[in-house]
Amino acid sequence: MSDKLRNYINGEWVASSAEIYLDVENPATGEVLAQVPMPDGKDMDQAAEAAQAAFDGWRRTPAGTRIQELFKLKRALDENFDAIAEIITIECGKTLAEARGEMIRAIENVEVACGIPRMMQGDVSEDIARGIDEMMIRQPVGVCGCIAPFNFPGMISFWFLPYAIACGNPFIVKPSEKVPLTMQKIFQLVDEHLDLPAGVLQMVHGGKESVDAMLDHPVIRAISFVGSTPVARYVYSRGTANGKRVQAQGGAKNPIIVLPDADMDMTVKIAADSAFGCAGQRCLAASVAVTVGDAGKTFTDAIAEAAASRVTGYGLDAGVQMGTVVDKNSAARIEGLIQKGADEGANVLVDGRNAQISGYENGSFVKPTVLSGVNPSGEIARTEIFGPVLSLIQVNTIEDAIAFVNGGQYGNMACLFTQSGYAARKFRYEAQAGNIGINIGVAAPMAYFPFSGWKDSFFGTLHGQSGHAVEFFTQTKVVVERWPKEWSRQF
Ligand code: NAD
């Protein structure tokens, strides 16, 4: 019998009020790992009230004291690094190396947030008029929360969590119901190793009902969402209609452009890692490769070979280069979209459908797939697939390629492969995306840069991580002061 997961509310592990529980499965083996509660809004309401009760004491705790808890968190994450990475692989299906990579970025965000005593400092101007001073101070906004997707169970909450609490806000995490075990482990570490006041850091499981309760609860002041575009749009509009700050990161359809002068060996290796790494389930995965002029033939042959030779299997097994997709529904949806591409006239150059992995017959595997001759206006060229599928499009000029990039619905990432500084500069300047890679395939910002997309990849203003997070999790107050000499005792 597998475990029924509990929420972490007010400093304690609390049984959910849910009547419905979903199985959490290992996507490679089909083994049931645990059961996750799917409550109505009551659990979230309980956490919101505990957070509100904790707020005043936490905001009055000096920032230098607050970040001591981040040092403890970093130490706990470091000491349990391999155990957490293994849970990520077991519940999410990616390789162990990929799981470790995401925890490195999670920890990096904790490290950057340790600078918050300096990062949330305000500004002062003396003598804006004679004897009058003006200052801008930053104060925490109040109870905050985040809603996470399935593809980075360890990392994504950390784009927000360490900044929110270091700025003096209580914070509630709502993990993806598909992969709740990683956060469960991290909150065990929070419970055992940190000395946070009860209610400052909480976790509530669930799906839409927990999200809706977060969007509607009046004490929750700011929400960070990461997931698909339709849900991001919904979270943004309902949350802002309720007067909350919302930053909502959505889906993607990331193009990479290959010019004829690109270093082809390097480009193909990087493009394959971008398209097939994490089984294509990265918001910064390459999904379309646009080849310009002579680049087409060489790139097509080489990427097909790279796709066909990539070793797919269980992420815990040695030598595996690509794991599963998240579940069977996802595998069926991806295979349906590959068929859609074929129906639209694309050539399925490498076909990853109906993958059989010996010893894992029950696994949710789709192998690397390459579609060539894709119609730039077809559905397969425009729809987010979120699987290991790369569509190839051939154009004649860099202008045609940039027009394709800028004609898309999304704007999360766009990359260019070239040895021309002029072309690189033109692309950086003109491409409409929040993250640009030049001879880079996954242009993921370090924790000390802001992270988010443009267009339908993002709803809001301030992005995740670093200085943007500090601005999102604080509100400014401007004070103008006059202290006439005649009012004061003379010394
Ligand atoms: P999802 O939108 O299905 O779910 C995300 C979260 O929203 C989950 O916690 C889920 O419980 C909740 N949710 C789902 N449906 C809801 C609804 N109708 N109402 C309220 N809440 C709901 O996304 P996913 O499948 O978990 O993740 C994959 C998506 O996330 C992809 O589209 C990917 O591009 C995107 N993503 C974007 C970024 C980014 O930085 N822009 C990063 C990672 C993933």
Domains of the chain, start order = 7-250+457-479 (3.40.605.10), 254-438 (3.40.309.10)
pLDDT at position 2, please? Answer: 64
pTM listed for this prediction: 0.98
Q: What CA–CA distance (Å, rounded) separates 364 from 384?
A: 19
The number of beta carbons lying within 10 Å of the beta carbon of residue 477 is 11
Distance 357 CA to ligand 1 centre (A): 28
Distance 229 CA to ligand 1 centre (A): 8
Distance 307 CA to ligand 1 centre (A): 27
What the block records as the tokens of 86 is: 């293994």
Answer yes or no: are the C-beta atoms of 411 and 455 closer than 8 Å. yes
Distance 232 CA to ligand 1 centre (A): 7
Nearest CA to ligand 1 atom 19: 208
Atom of ligand 1 nearest to the CA of 250: 41
**Beta bridge partners of residue 139, listed in sequence order:** 475
Q: What CA–CA distance (Å, rounded) separates 141 from 245?
A: 9
Answer yes or no: are the C-beta atoms of 452 and 232 closer than 8 Å. no
Of 165, 163, 147, give the one whose Cα is nearest residue 59. Answer: 165
Answer yes or no: are the C-beta atoms of 43 and 5 closer than 8 Å. no
The number of beta carbons lying within 10 Å of the beta carbon of residue 438 is 15
Distance 392 CA to ligand 1 centre (A): 26
For each of the chain's 491 residues, which pLDDT tens digit applies? 469 999 999 999 999 999 999 999 999 999 999 999 999 999 999 999 999 999 999 999 999 999 999 999 999 999 999 999 999 999 999 999 999 999 999 999 999 999 999 999 999 999 999 999 999 999 999 999 999 999 999 999 999 999 999 999 999 999 999 999 999 999 999 999 999 999 999 999 999 999 999 999 999 999 999 999 999 999 999 999 999 999 999 999 999 999 999 999 999 999 999 999 999 999 999 999 999 999 999 999 999 999 999 999 999 999 999 999 999 999 999 999 999 999 999 999 999 999 999 999 999 999 999 999 999 999 999 999 999 999 999 999 999 999 999 999 999 999 999 999 999 999 999 999 999 999 999 999 999 999 999 999 999 999 999 999 999 999 999 999 999 999 988 88
SS (H, E, C) the chain: CCEECCEEECCEEECCCCCCEEEEECCCCCCEEEEEECCCCHHHHHHHHHHHHHHHHHHHCCHHHHHHHHHHHHHHHHHCHHHHHHHHHHHHCCCHHHHHHHHHHHHHHHHHHCCHHHHCCCEEEEEEECCEEEEEEEEECCEEEEECCCCCCCCHHHHCHHHHHHCCCCEEEECCCCCCHHHHHHHHHHHHHCCCCCCCEEECCCCHHHHHHHHHCCCEEEEEEECCHHHHHHHHHHHHHCCCEEEEECCCCEEEEECCCCCHHHHHHHHHHHHHHHHHCCCCCEEEEEEECCHHHHHHHHHHHHHHHCCECCCCCCCCCECCCCCHHHHHHHHHHHHHHHHCCCEEEECCCCCCCCCCCCCCCCCCEEEECCCCCCHHHHCCCCCCEEEEEEECCHHHHHHHHHCCCEECEEEEECCCHHHHHHHHHHCCCCEEEECCCCCCCCCCCCECCEECCEECCCCECHHHHHHHCEEEEEEEEECCHHHCCCC
pLDDT at position 1, please? Answer: 45
Atom of ligand 1 nearest to the CA of 229: 32
Atom of ligand 1 nearest to the CA of 176: 9
Q: What CA–CA distance (Å, rounded) separates 203 from 172?
A: 5
What the block records as the tokens of 409 is: 């619905």
pLDDT at position 489, please? Answer: 86
Binding-site residues, ligand 1, Cβ < 6 A: 147-151, 174, 176-177, 207-208, 211, 226-228, 231, 234, 249-252, 283, 384, 386, 412, 453, 457
**Beta bridge partners of residue 34, listed in sequence order:** 3, 24
Q: Are strands 123-129 and 132-140 parallel, antiparallel or unpaired?
A: antiparallel
pLDDT at position 490, please? Answer: 81
User: Does the annotation mark 283 as catalytic?
Assistant: yes
Nearest CA to ligand 1 atom 20: 208
Atom of ligand 1 nearest to the CA of 464: 40
Nearest CA to ligand 1 atom 43: 283
Question: Of the residues 150, 174, 179, 410, which should be mutated to test ligand 1's pocket, given the most ligand atoms within 8 Å of the CB?
Answer: 150
Of 253, 273, 345, 218, give the one whose Cα is nearest residue 98. Answer: 273
The catalytic residue among 114, 146, 278, 283 is 283
Answer yes or no: are the C-beta atoms of 486 and 144 closer than 8 Å. no
Cα→Cα distances 76→87, 202, 364, Å: 16, 17, 32
Question: Of the residues 283, 386, 435, which should be mutated to test ligand 1's pocket, given the most ligand atoms within 8 Å of the CB?
Answer: 283
Give the burial class of 34: count Cβ atoms within 10 A of its Cβ; 0-12 exposed, 13-18 middle, 19 or more buried: middle
Atom of ligand 1 nearest to the CA of 457: 41
Q: Under 8 Å CB-to-CB from 425, ≥6 apart: which residues? A: none
Question: Of the residues 43, 91, 98, 151, which should be mutated to test ligand 1's pocket, given the most ligand atoms within 8 Å of the CB?
Answer: 151
Distance 240 CA to ligand 1 centre (A): 18
Distance 226 CA to ligand 1 centre (A): 6
